[in-house]
Chains A and B, each alone.
Chain A
Amino acid sequence: MAIQTEDPRVIEFDVRTDEMLVNMGPQHPSTHGVLRLLLRTDGEVVHECTPHIGYLHRCAEKIGENLAGPQWIPYTDRMDYLAGMNMNLGMSLAYEKLLGMELPEKAVTLRVIIAELGRIASHLVGMGAYGLDLGSFSPFLYAFREREIILDLFEEVCGARLTYSYLTIGGATHDLPGMIEIPPGLAALTGKSPNTRMTWTDATLLFLEHLEDRIREYHTLLTNNSIFIKRTAGIGIMPAEMAISYGCSGPVLRGSGVDLDLRRDGEPIYTRMYDGYNYRIPVPPFDEAPPEVVVGDNWCRFYVRMLEVVESIGLVRQSLAKYPSTEGTYRVPFKMNTKLPKDECYLETECPRGQMGFYLVGNGQAEPLRARAKSSCFCNLSITGPLCKGVLLADVPAVVGSLDIVMGEIDR
């Protein structure tokens, strides 16, 4: 249910307005990628919003049907390019479910470290870019400054900064590195000399220590900022029932007050990763929320992401502490030409943007008969039409931005 703004003809009866078709995008800076919104407006009020997608469609599913599992992994990176690690993880787990593989404890712990760092990096962009949508530029730069350090750490792990292909079927391609040179961003953050050498795990822990302070800064800059609250609270309200019917997932669903996180409620092959960890799943209503906030509005979705970063910091800390003492290897060997069984399976994982599902059908060959990637943002975006009905034109970026969409994942 959208906010009902008073009929503009009543407010300003001497100003005549006509219905107008406004095209926003496909390359508008506030649309988070190539998304075209077709808006039917009357004055400043949006009466109808139709999203048009497909500008980035690359037939990733068709390609997946012609490639063996490990060859398809680089394509999953390019779907959700802001959380490549989590996409690799989801796809690898789907293959492992199909093949019935058992992973050693060490590989599982390593995946928790990497996946949660990926979640932090992704939420930082979601949060910073949302500030940019509402006209505050600094948090965007700060968020990227922090994300850069995570990317430096990822670069030490696998050599890539955006498209990792690191987590693979059977574990990961490499073990975590030993001694590294301190990432430049981290050296600047902590005041250490740029020539310092330390282990990768120590560098990560050092970074997490400082990140928590920075999160407090973001709360000052955005969460408790009265302009930010005015722009987000009570706008784009998504009741729980509507969110479920539209298949929303992740922070968008939890922002509506539905307590579902696949890390806890998913299938055993996935929840096994998070057994024994101590973490909280933030769901509104929040006690500390400003009085204007309604459950399911833009502010809640944003705040859920902020709190999840803090939870992920805790998860990385716990898994880093556990990693040195775990048994087994970081990887079970997997041959490229391993034949898939004549069976099918569907698996969803909790990616930063929501529940990413992979559906695989094997037919006795190395290439699957069907490789389907169900996108979380696709479902989250489909709600834009009803959500934008009746909001002001200036609030459309605020609503779309709060869904934290990545067009690469929607179009695949």
Chain B
Amino acid sequence: MTVSEIHARLVDKFGSDAIPALNTEAIDHWVEVAADRMAEVAEFLKQDEALQFDNLTDLCGVDYFAADPKQLKKLDHEPHVEVVYQLYSFPLKHRCTVKVKLPRWKNDEEGVLPEVPSVAHIWAIADWHERETFDLMGIRFLNHPNLSRILCPDDWVGHALRKDYEFPLEYHGIRGM
């Protein structure tokens, strides 16, 4: 199944409000899913006979932002963060990229992390990938069984892969850069 067909099937089931966009210009075609509907769409992606995406190969976050104001002007999109899901189906051998777009901060309040429903109950590996994305990108996954930091220490401040992350000068008395 091509990504356009997958998109058509998802729009049929959930309506175009839940599936706002399809991009076939990119190298890997992708489908966008509304943030609050992600859990049910993911459930459908795994269970549906014609889709059967039983493998989540990757889940990561991307921060579309630049800390430097000059570079920020050059970006041709509004600052936002994305969660990118790479799916693969073992029985049907097809791939699909699913994206969820989120504001950089929830309700535009600086420091309040954006939220997206967790898919850890659908694909077991999402548990760790979501913890990593939370740790490094600062995205909160709702209903995650144990959303704690995984690569950084528990008391680390900030999320390192955010473009405006500032390296700490000190950590527990250890001087940084």
Task: Judge whether B44 is part of the interface by a CB distance below 8 angstroms.
Answer: no
The answer to whether B57 touches A53 (Cβ under 8 A) is no
A382 interface hit (Cβ, 8 Å): yes
Q: Is the CB of A357 within 8 A of B62?
A: no
Chain B residues whose CB sits within 8 angstroms of the CB of A57 once the complex forms: 151-152
Task: List residues of chain A with CB within 8 A of the CB of B84.
Answer: 346, 359
Q: Is the CB of B58 within 8 A of A357?
A: yes
Q: Contacts of A342 on B, CB cut-off 8 Å?
A: 76
A54 touches B28 (CB 8 A): no
The residue of chain A having its C-beta at the shortest distance from the C-beta of B27 within the complex is: A345
Residues of B contacting A348 in the complex (Cβ-Cβ under 8 angstroms): 57
Count contacts on A: residues with CB < 8 A to the other chain. 38
Q: A57-B152, A61-B161, A357-B86 are in contact. Are A244 and B55 (CB under 8 A)?
A: yes
Query: B139: shortest Cβ distance to chain A, in Å?
Result: 14
Interface status of A265 (Cβ within 8 A of chain B): yes
Decide: B74 and A364 in contact? CB cutoff 8 A: yes
* Beta-carbon contact of B90 and A62 below 8 Å: no
Given A61-B136, A265-B93, A369-B62, A54 and B27 contact (CB-CB distance below 8 Å): no
Tell me which residues across on chain B come within 8 A of A97, comparing CB atoms.
27
Chain B residues in 8 Å Cβ range of A378: 128, 132
Which of A54, A372, A382 makes the CB contact (< 8 A) with B125?
A: A382
Give the dominant DSSP class at A's interface: mixed
Interface residues of A in 327-366 (CB under 8 A from B): 342-346, 348, 355, 357, 359, 361, 363-364
Structural contact, A374 and B125, CB atoms closer than 8 A:
no
B151 and A411 contacting across the interface, CB-CB below 8 Å: yes
Cβ of A180 within 8 Å of any chain B Cβ, yes or no, is no
Task: Establish whether residues B62 and A361, one from each chain, have CB atoms under 8 Å apart when the complex forms.
Answer: yes
A83 at the interface (CB under 8 A from B): no
Would you call A393 an interface residue if the criterion is a C-beta within 8 Å of the partner chain's C-beta atoms?
A: no
B147 at the interface (CB under 8 A from A): no
Q: Confirm or deny: A245 has a beta carbon within 8 angstroms of a beta carbon on chain B.
A: yes
Determine the residue in chain B with the shortest Cβ distance to A376.
B57
State A173–B55 Cα separation when bound (angstroms). 36
Are A359 and B58 in contact, with the CB atoms below 8 A?
Answer: yes
Chain A, 53-97, contact with B by CB distance < 8 Å: what is the 0/1 string?
110010101100100000000000000000000000000000001
Closest to B125 in A: A247
Chain A residues with Cβ under 8 A from B97's Cβ?
Answer: 346
With contact pairs A370-B62, A372-B60, A374-B60 given, residues A343 and B27 touching in the complex (Cβ less than 8 Å): yes
Interface residues on B, range: 20 to 34
B127 partner residues in chain A, CB cutoff 8 A: 382
Chain A, range 246-285, C-beta contacts under 8 Å to B? 246-247, 258, 260, 265
Please name the residue on chain B nearest to A242 by beta carbon. Answer: B124
Distance in angstroms between the alpha carbons of A345 and B60 in the assembled complex: 13
Residues on B with C-beta less than 8 A from A62 are: 160-161
Q: How far is the CA of A345 from the CA of B28 in the complex (A)?
A: 6
Instruction: Give bound CA distance, A279 to B58, whole Å.
Output: 28
A374 in contact with B58 (CB, 8 Å) = yes
Complex Cα spacing A97 to B27, Å: 8
Q: How far is the CA of A342 from the CA of B64 in the complex (A)?
A: 12
> By the criterion CB–CB under 8 Å, are A245 and B93 in contact?
no
Question: Chain B residues near A411 (CB, 8 Å)?
Answer: 151
Task: Establish whether residues B124 and A344, one from each chain, have CB atoms under 8 Å apart when the complex forms.
Answer: no
Within 8 A of A (CB), among B78-116: 84, 86, 90, 93, 97
Which residues, 139 to 169 on B, are CB-close (under 8 Å) to A? 149-153, 160-161
Q: Chain A residues near B27 (CB, 8 Å)?
A: 97-98, 343-345
Closest residue to B64 on the A side, CB-wise?
A369
B3 within 8 A of A: no
Within 8 Å by CB of B152, from A54, A65, A245, A379, lies: A54
Residue B26 at the chain A interface, CB threshold 8 Å: yes
Question: B60 to A246, Cβ gap below 8 A?
Answer: no
Closest to B84 in A: A359
**Cβ distance A382 to chain B, nearest Cβ, rounded Å:** 5
Taking CB atoms and an 8 Å cut-off, the chain A residues in 364-412 that contact chain B are: 364, 369-370, 372, 374, 378-379, 382, 411-412
Contacting pair A53 B125 (CB below 8 A): no
Chain A residues with Cβ below 8 Å from B63 are: 370
Give the 5 A-B CB pairs with smallest separation, nearest first: A247-B125, A54-B151, A345-B27, A374-B58, A245-B124
Binding site for B on A (CB under 8 A): 53-54, 57, 59, 61-62, 65, 97-98, 242, 244-247, 258, 260, 265, 342-346, 348, 355, 357, 359, 361, 363-364, 369-370, 372, 374, 378-379, 382, 411-412
A-B contact pairs, 27 of them (CB 8 A): A53-B150, A53-B151, A54-B150, A54-B151, A57-B151, A57-B152, A62-B160, A65-B161, A98-B27, A244-B54, A246-B125, A247-B55, A247-B57, A247-B125, A342-B76, A344-B26, A345-B28, A346-B28, A346-B58, A355-B57, A359-B84, A369-B64, A374-B57, A374-B60, A382-B124, A382-B128, A411-B151
